[in-house]
């Protein structure tokens, strides 16, 4: 060698593959200025540093230096390579460095959990609220009919309530379900609740379903009307559609997230995520019902009475094995909602 | 040395005219050196960037994930490598997403439109899958030589359209036969450099594996129904647990099928004159799968990267290459130069469908 340095040029042992055969050639890589020299038995090549490509570090895995003509070397001596790379001024990309720094990984993990929690808590409900009015009526109707078919397919059976009682409840609701002189779209259906017991719910298209057990639980038609108006509040604000949108997006995310492991596993959590209306939605529906009851000259406390009765009925049922915990999710809030309706601190506008 | 294998290997095969060279092949085990804690970093960065870019980064994430797994897989002292272009993968994902969207929307619109889209999908899917196989093979390399897949379109329509239809029409009785045909299409049309793969797994072996799996499932269902029957009379709600039971059974059978099918396929696969050996134990794989599931559930998914590493380490570590000659002797086929110029459509896009 003609040039003599005080430090020897950094060199690394490697395996060379020419891209034409599977034969491994043991070689030595040396850095001279901006040139990478490769030397082995009967082999020698010089490549300018900008013309070679270095694979990102991945733990103990071999790093691969690829040349412009498709040949490459595999390097497993990571310590020697680090010295050579330091001399060449090479620096890994930010994304690569993040992946291998425990502190960066922890920070990213925390950031991810925060972002997901925020998106689920605020982002998703907001997006669903924006999107719900734009869901075509045909889709809402089709979804509602599907749900109704499911309900009639074994969950509930035909009502045994006498026709006159049904008629009087219908006309009471028709009279009450008006805003600014306009009648709100709705349909009232009676069913026998089966395992669901005393219950009432709204389908996204405004169909209200009330069980015979709930009518029996109520002392009079006004109390039933209070519950129906609450459900109509859900339908009017498209709460069902919103929950459905949120549920679908959550399901999609879970399917993607857990899809790698088992698509079976992905189905389980979505059922848990979509467990009834949010507290805010219940409040909104309560406010709507209270307003409509006042307009009819009735007291919002009627709804509070019904909530109390329903909670008690389902509490009692909870000890029998065949009750479904439908009210479980909103249960802790029920006392608060009752107090709100009794004290009249709901929104009247 | 008392190791019998060492003594066997010490006999020079060429020196004994009565023993053909292939009788004591040199064993080259596949080694996997990936570590869960290390892969966790890659996984979390991939996840965060994928979420932040609303899924677009997922194509780059896939390349980094595969590169981590390939480069940690070593055979004969050198690692595998993955060369997929993220942009091609992204293109494939967009196409896949649009197809799925069209399928779902058309059924909302009208059943007739839905059926039309489904027929169109069925007609293009085999070709997409064939390209996916080509993409995957073409972008995999070992010792500087690329793998390749040159299955034709006719074969693709046979294994991805004709056989599935026949399978459904035969009430799944011909399912194992379909699987055998699929593996034959996959392996017989695959090359490493210019050396061809070949598979000779008999149909009967596929029937045996699936038959045993089915037997376990049927026994499981029968056993549980018999167990639940006394309670069911008092309370029909008990039967709501049946779907859950099916999930448990699927989790139980899946490792068995994975282990037996891997062994079946690789023990009957040749690469030129070289053979493979796969010794996955269904019981070990079942234990790994079960503990993985527990870990994933307990950590809300954060154990996933560790789980993937554990499964890969076990399944890859069970494979050995039985070399009939020097592994240095593989040479590139005519595709070596085509690789540089881009083998036309092979790199256009990749559709992610696991096979
Ligand atoms: Zn409500």
| pLDDT for position B322 | 92
pLDDT level of residue A335 (50, 70, 90 thresholds): confident
- Please tell me the least confidently modeled range out of B34-43, B56-65, B215-224: B215-224
- The per-residue DSSP string of A298-309 comes to --THHHHHHHHH
Query: Which residue in chain A is spatially nearest to B304 when comparing CA positions?
Result: A261
Asked if B184 reaches chain A (Cβ–Cβ under 8 Å), the answer is: no
pLDDT at residue A319 greater than cutoff 60:
no
Q: Which of B323, B313, B320 is nearest to B288 (CA)?
A: B313
Domains of chain A from N-terminus onward: 11-94 (2.30.29.30), 135-343 (no CATH)
Query: Which residue in chain B is spatially nearest to A68 when comparing CA positions?
Result: B340
A4-52: pLDDT as tens digits:
444 567 889 999 998 888 888 999 999 888 889 999 988 899 998 888 8
A220-276: pLDDT as tens digits:
888 999 999 998 888 888 888 888 778 777 777 776 666 544 444 444 434 433 446
| pLDDT for position B79 | 92
Asked if B108 reaches chain A (Cβ–Cβ under 8 Å), the answer is: yes
pLDDT level of residue B235 (50, 70, 90 thresholds): low
Q: What is the DSSP letter of A8?
A: P
Residues B144, A142: C-beta atoms closer than 8 Å: no
Which of B42, B302, B327 shows the shortest C-beta gap to A22?
B327
Six token digits for residue B173 = 């009785």
Six token digits for residue A145 = 């009919």
CA of B154 to nearest chain A CA: how many angstroms apart?
Answer: 31
A161-204: pLDDT as tens digits:
888 888 999 988 888 888 777 777 788 889 887 777 788 888 88
pLDDT at residue B16 greater than cutoff 70:
no
Residues A231 and A56: their CA atoms lie apart, in Å, by 58
pTM (2 d.p.): 0.72
What region does B108 belong to: left with phi over 0, alpha with psi -120 to 50, or beta?
alpha
Q: Three-state DSSP class for A102?
A: helix
How remote is the C-alpha of A162 from its chain's centroid? 43
Which of B47, B74, B78 shows the shortest C-beta gap to A24?
B78
**In sequence order, which residues have a C-beta less than 8 Å from that of residue A286 and are 6 or more positions away?**
A230, A233, A303, A337, A340, A341, A346
- Residues in chain A with CB shorter than 8 Å from the CB of B108 are 139, 142
Residues B231 and B241: their CA atoms lie apart, in Å, by 12
Residues B44, A195: C-beta atoms closer than 8 Å: no
| pLDDT for position B9 | 37
Helix, strand, coil shares, percent, chain B, to 5: 65, 15, 20
| pLDDT for position B321 | 93
B134-189: pLDDT as tens digits:
888 888 999 989 898 888 999 999 999 999 999 999 988 999 999 999 999 999 99
Mean pLDDT over each residue of chain A, to the nearest integer: 79
| pLDDT for position A268 | 41
Question: Quick one: average pLDDT of A65-83?
Answer: 91
Q: What is the DSSP letter of B227?
A: H
| pLDDT for position A315 | 66
Asked if B142 reaches chain A (Cβ–Cβ under 8 Å), the answer is: yes
Ligand 1 centroid to Cα of residue A138, in Å, is: 24
Compute the half-sphere exposure of residue A278: CA atoms within 13 Å on the CB side of its CA.
21
């Amino acid at each position: 060698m003609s040039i003599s340095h005080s430090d020897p040029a950094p060199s690394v042992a490697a395996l060379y593959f020419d891209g034409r055969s599977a034969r491994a050639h043991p070689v030595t890589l040396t850095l001279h200025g901006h040139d990478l020299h490769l030397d082995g038995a009967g082999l020698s090549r010089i490549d300018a540093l900008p013309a070679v490509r270095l694979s990102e570090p991945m733990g103990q895995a071999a790093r691969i230096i690829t040349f412009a003509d498709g040949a490459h070397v595999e390097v497993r001596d990571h310590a020697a390579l680090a010295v050579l790379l330091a001399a060449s001024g090479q620096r890994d990309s930010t994304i690569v460095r993040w992946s291998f720094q425990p502190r960066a990984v922890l920070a990213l993990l925390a950031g991810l959990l925060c972002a997901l929690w925020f998106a689920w808590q605020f982002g998703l409900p907001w997006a669903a609220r924006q999107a719900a009015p734009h869901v075509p009526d045909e889709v809402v109707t089709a979804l509602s009919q599907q749900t109704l078919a499911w309900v009639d397919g074994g969950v509930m059976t035909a009502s045994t309530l006498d026709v006159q009682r049904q008629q009087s409840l219908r006309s009471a609701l028709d009279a009450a379900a008006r805003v600014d002189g306009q009648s709100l779209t709705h349909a009232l259906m009676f069913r026998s609740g089966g395992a669901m017991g005393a219950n009432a719910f709204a389908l996204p298209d405004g169909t209200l379903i009330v069980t015979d057990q709930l009518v029996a639980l109520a002392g009079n038609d006004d109390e039933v009307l209070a519950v129906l108006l609450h459900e109509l509040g859900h339908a009017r604000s498209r709460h069902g559609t919103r929950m459905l949108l949120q549920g679908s997006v959550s399901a999609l995310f879970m399917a993607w997230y857990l899809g790698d492991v088992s698509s079976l596993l992905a189905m389980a959590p979505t059922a848990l995520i979509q467990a009834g209306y949010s507290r805010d939605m219940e409040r909104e529906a309560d406010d709507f019902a209270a307003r409509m009851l006042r307009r009819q000259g009735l007291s919002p406390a009627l709804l509070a009475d019904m909530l109390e009765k329903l909670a008690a009925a389902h509490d009692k049922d909870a000890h029998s094995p065949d009750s479904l915990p439908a009210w479980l999710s909103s249960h802790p809030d029920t006392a608060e909602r009752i107090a709100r309706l009794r004290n009249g601190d709901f929104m009247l506008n | 040395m008392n190791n019998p294998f060492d003594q066997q290997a010490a006999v020079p095969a060429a020196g004994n005219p009565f023993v053909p060279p292939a009788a004591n092949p040199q064993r080259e085990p596949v080694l996997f050196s990936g570590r869960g804690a290390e892969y966790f970093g890659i996984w979390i960065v991939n996840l965060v960037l994928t979420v932040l870019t609303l899924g677009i980064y997922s194509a780059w994430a896939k390349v980094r994930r595969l590169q981590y797994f390939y480069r940690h897989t070593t055979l004969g002292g050198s690692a595998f490598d993955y060369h997929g272009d993220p942009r091609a993968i992204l293109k494939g994902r967009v196409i896949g997403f649009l197809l799925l969207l069209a399928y779902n929307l058309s059924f909302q619109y009208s059943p007739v439109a839905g059926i039309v889209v489904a027929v169109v999908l069925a007609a293009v899917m085999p070709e997409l899958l064939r390209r996916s196989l080509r993409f995957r093979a073409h972008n995999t390399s070992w010792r500087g030589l690329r793998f390749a897949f040159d299955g034709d379109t006719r074969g693709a329509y046979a294994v991805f359209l004709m056989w599935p239809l026949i399978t459904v029409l035969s009430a799944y009785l011909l399912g194992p036969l379909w699987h055998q045909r699929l593996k034959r299409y996959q392996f017989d049309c695959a090359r490493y450099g210019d050396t061809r793969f070949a598979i000779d797994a008999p149909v009967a072996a596929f029937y045996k594996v699936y038959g045993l799996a089915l037997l376990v499932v049927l026994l499981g269902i029968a056993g549980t129904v018999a167990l639940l029957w006394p309670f069911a009379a008092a309370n029909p709600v008990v039967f709501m647990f049946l779907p859950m039971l099916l999930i448990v059974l699927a989790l139980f059978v899946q490792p068995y099928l994975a282990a037996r099918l891997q062994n079946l396929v690789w023990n009957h696969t040749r690469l030129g004159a070289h053979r493979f050996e796969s010794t996955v134990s269904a019981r070990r794989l079942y234990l790994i799968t079960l503990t993985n599931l527990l870990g994933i559930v307990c950590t809300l998914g954060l154990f996933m990267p560790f789980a993937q590493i554990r499964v890969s380490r076990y399944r890859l570590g069970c494979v050995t290459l039985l070399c009939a000659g020097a592994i240095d002797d593989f040479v590139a086929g005519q595709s070596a130069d085509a690789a540089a110029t881009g083998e036309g459509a092979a790199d256009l896009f990749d559709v992610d469908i696991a096979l």
